[in-house]
Structure 1
Amino acid sequence: MGDPDPLPRPRPASPLHRFGEAFRQVGAHDRELVRRSAALPRTGADDLLTLLSRSADKSRLWWGVAAVLAVRKGPARKGALRGIAAVAGASAVANLVGKPLFPRRRPAAHEVPGHRRLRRPPTSSSFPSGHAASAAAFATAVAMESPRAGLALFPLAGLVAYSRVHTGVHWPSDVGAGLVIGAAAATLTRHWWPLRPEMRARTAHQAEAPLMVDGEDMLALVNPRSGIDGQDPTEDVRYAWPKAVLRYPDPGRDLRDQLAEEIDAHGGVRALGVAGGDGTVASVASLAAERGLPLALIPTGTLNHFARDVGVRSMPDADEATEGGHAVGIDLGEVEISGAGGPGHRWFVNTASLGGYPEMVRMREKLQEKHPKWPSAAIALARVLRRAKPLHAELNGETVAFWLLFVGNGTYAPKGFAPSRRPALDTGLLDVRYLRADVPYSRARFLLAMLTGSLHASHVYRQRDLPELHVRLHDGHRRVATDGEVGPLGREFRFRSRPSALTIYRNPDPAG
């Protein structure tokens, strides 16, 4: 007799079978966790969780928290802005991508007690939880800018996420997936909006400046309309410099002309002070550089890019520096304009630009007559990008066509699309960046390179560090924008870096 037939070996499970088995296990765990949640005794927390769940509809809760955080300047305000951006990304992924791709029934109504159920339960796919995604996105993004505020928000985000299980509209795995999506969306904001290191820019140029005890012999300009707080900074200025002569911008006059007359009228002015945003600071700084006067700065604007780079973050910083006579020399940028209504000249402390940005500023200012600043800026940007026309010009003798030209006072970091800070204030260089318009589909290619982080290898984007840039337009006249303010029309623009042109009060670097 022959050997008996061997027993048939079991076939290995297919990937689809293994996936189905894993999905069934997740479903079993979900039902068990929902059962345990439903078995919890009735307490006052039920009403609180129901209220939290409803308040987070359409991210209304996070918009409200962002408004509270944005009241005061500093990391919390930046965290609020980053949080809203992260919520937008997380909501898009969860609701526009996740739910259509992974349809799933929500828990049946009888799974939880009747007093917990929402009056209007959602009808979309259960997977993933958009509420959990938004909660994790906002709390994580805020924590990146302000760990203290983030620590306070994480318990609230956790309660919102759990409330979706407690009220019976989501399975626990839906919430878990939403939390992962939200945390990932917050982390990805760093790709387009890098975290700004909390350190001031370097400069090796120490400068002599008089001690300004209580602001004696100081002329200070106070702009009560700077910023979004609606708070007049006069009280802070009076506290820091009680003996200073204070002046306010005259809406009917050029700010530089007004200040120049004040300096001549008073005589004996040994320093200029300013409390305002970047636009106001730039005007006063340019006059200080021309008159050879040191500048004292109290930042009261919306963003205060210049003050953050200099290292003056608040009134106490400015007060301590002027009382001790501590100052440094920093570079300024200047642009000479010709070819329209006669020669013109402007200084800039941060950036200058040609192309779409000046037009956006003009449109934003018009829209601001009826709408808030930030929505006006977003609408203006969208309209300008849609209607933009390329500029044909010579850049230092090289013929190019571009959509937008950026010129920074100093070399900015990072080198991608969103320059946010200056490591040094004494490089003697301009940061020149432009988006080419002489390459097919340049705007679409630019957007793709920006999203993928490959701008450094893109043929449509150029970045150079130069001491000087001469721009000659071939097709008519355009306006230049400096530090967010629209300047005069011109056809030729000569940008230069002026090393150590401005002496500004700032405290010495800490030891070590």
Structure 2
Amino acid sequence: MTNPRSGGGKPARYGLVQRAEDMGAQVWMTSADEDAASLARYAVQEGAQVLGVAGGDGTVSAVAAVAADAGRSLVVVPAGTRNHFARDLGLDVCDPAQALGALVDGEPARVDLGVLGPRVFVNNVSFGMYADALLEPGYREDKKRAFAAVAPDYLKGKQWVEACVDTPWGTVEFPQVVLISNNPYHLATPGWLGRRFSLSTGLLGGIVLKRPTETPPDLLRHLRSELRRHERGLGPAGEGAVLWSASGITLHGDVRHLDAGIDGEAVTLPLPVMCGIRPGALRVLLPKDRPGIPPERVPGRPGALRAGGNG
């Protein structure tokens, strides 16, 4: 399955369709009438034992849900803009075609999937500033402008998430930002900020930024302070950020719906929102020739995904 619009037309630019067909794969393109999930279900009905997907995190998550439910292996080709999931699988996001090698002699690995009701997410679910930016007209064409449009009210404490979030240290009311990730992000090392060195911990990562008590708020200072406490196993200091890992995270409140982003796609979700995780739910095939995950010298790095160890 290929989303021809992903990454500003990456599938065509890298000749992914022709290369996949040359390797014996049958390729279907998404369209206004047929989305990635529908095509993946059709492929399973036709007897496909391995599913492949070329696109960004939103397209990948749609096909990953079908692959996991059908017990099929998945080949991920990073043809989106950010490619967070593919990057954290250790794939070469600068050369999407390299991932096609998994169709021939892919190495198997098991990874987790985040879940939100019937939905699956491979990267994250977000509420607040990022989710609002997704709703800005022209977000795909100019993301910096979209963030600039929504950021001021959040930074001034005039805008927040109309919900409460349960954390191990109590409920945070009306936070600025909530980010729930499929496995926790690494935040200790600037060069690897936002990476996931493991996709098989069986835990969600939670990040909550509280409403500021200062103007403008020093969010980075709060995040670094909370990170140091988190790494030492201490509870939050009560400042601007809360970080934790859990098998489930819930948002609740009095409003009926919340705007959110699921793997970069804008959605509206009814409350309460209950996120969970399916450990080892997805079997992926990885090319032998790939950059892999960051080196062992990265401080605070947990155990990383090992291809073939859980196949």
TM-score clears 0.5: yes
**Structure-2 residue corresponding to 1:287:** 66
Counterparts of 1:433 and 1:483, CA distance in 2: 16
Counterparts of 2:193 and 2:33, CA distance in 1: 34
C-alpha distance 495-256 of structure 1, shift in aligned 2 (>3 A): same
**Structure-2 residue corresponding to 1:21:** none
The structure richer in helix per residue is 1
Deviations 1:235-266 (A, max 9, x none): 334324432221111224543234324533xx
**Structure-2 residue corresponding to 1:379:** 148
Partner SS, residue 303 of structure 1: coil
Deviations 1:419-471 (A, max 9, x none): 4201111100111010123x633x734436259x5443661200001111122
Would you say the 8 A contact 1:335–1:495 is kept in 2? yes
Counterparts of 1:233 and 1:226, CA distance in 2: 11
C-alpha RMSD of the superposition: 2.9
Size of the aligned set, in residue pairs, is 273
Structure 1 length as normaliser, TM-score?
Answer: 0.48
**Structure-1 residue corresponding to 2:196:** 422
1:306 aligns with 2:77: no
Runs of 4+ with deviation above 6 angstroms: none
Would you say the 8 A contact 2:134–2:265 is kept in 1? yes
Partner SS, residue 219 of structure 2: helix
C-alpha distance 253-241 of structure 1, shift in aligned 2 (>3 A): closer
Moved more, 474-483 or 346-355: 474-483
C-alpha distance 415-494 of structure 1, shift in aligned 2 (>3 A): farther
Counterparts of 1:239 and 1:258, CA distance in 2: 20
Per chain length, whose mean CA-contact separation is higher, i.e. which structure has more relative contact order (CA < 8 Å, sep 6+)? 2
C-alpha distance 257-319 of structure 1, shift in aligned 2 (>3 A): closer
Match of 2:123 among 334, 339, 350: 350
C-alpha distance 315-234 of structure 1, shift in aligned 2 (>3 A): closer
C-alpha distance 390-283 of structure 1, shift in aligned 2 (>3 A): closer
Structure 2 length as normaliser, TM-score?
Answer: 0.77
C-alpha distance 502-473 of structure 1, shift in aligned 2 (>3 A): same
What is the Cα deviation at residue 321 of structure 1? 2.5
**Structure-2 residue corresponding to 1:497:** 277
Counterparts of 1:416 and 1:392, CA distance in 2: 31
**Structure-2 residue corresponding to 1:334:** 115
C-alpha distance 391-374 of structure 1, shift in aligned 2 (>3 A): closer
C-alpha distance 262-294 of structure 1, shift in aligned 2 (>3 A): closer
What is the Cα deviation at residue 346 of structure 1? 1.2
Partner SS, residue 268 of structure 1: coil
Question: Identity over the aligned pairs, expressed in percent?
Answer: 28
1:246 aligns with 2:27: yes
The structure richer in strand per residue is 2
Question: Which structure's CA Rg is the greater one?
Answer: 1
1:391 aligns with 2:162: yes
**Structure-2 residue corresponding to 1:480:** 260
Would you say the 8 A contact 2:55–2:79 is kept in 1? yes
Match of 1:256 among 37, 61, 78: 37
What is the Cα deviation at residue 476 of structure 1? 3.6
Counterparts of 1:234 and 1:390, CA distance in 2: 40
Q: Which amino acid aligns with 1:360?
A: A
Which structure 2 residues correspond to residues 387-466 of structure 1 after superposition, within 5 A? 388-395=159-166, 398-401=170-173, 402-415=175-188, 419-437=193-211, 440-441=213-214, 444-447=216-219, 449=221, 453-456=224-227, 459-466=239-246
Q: Which amino acid aligns with 1:502?
A: L
Which structure 2 residues correspond to residues 72-471 of structure 1 after superposition, within 5 A? 221-228=1-8, 232=12, 235-242=15-22, 243-264=24-45, 267-313=46-92, 314-315=95-96, 317-336=98-117, 345-363=118-136, 366-368=137-139, 372-382=141-151, 385=154, 388-395=159-166, 398-401=170-173, 402-415=175-188, 419-437=193-211, 440-441=213-214, 444-447=216-219, 449=221, 453-456=224-227, 459-471=239-251
What is the Cα deviation at residue 504 of structure 1? 0.6
Would you say the 8 A contact 2:176–2:209 is kept in 1? yes
Task: Structure 2: state its 5+ residue gaps.
Answer: 230-236, 289-305
**Structure-2 residue corresponding to 1:131:** none
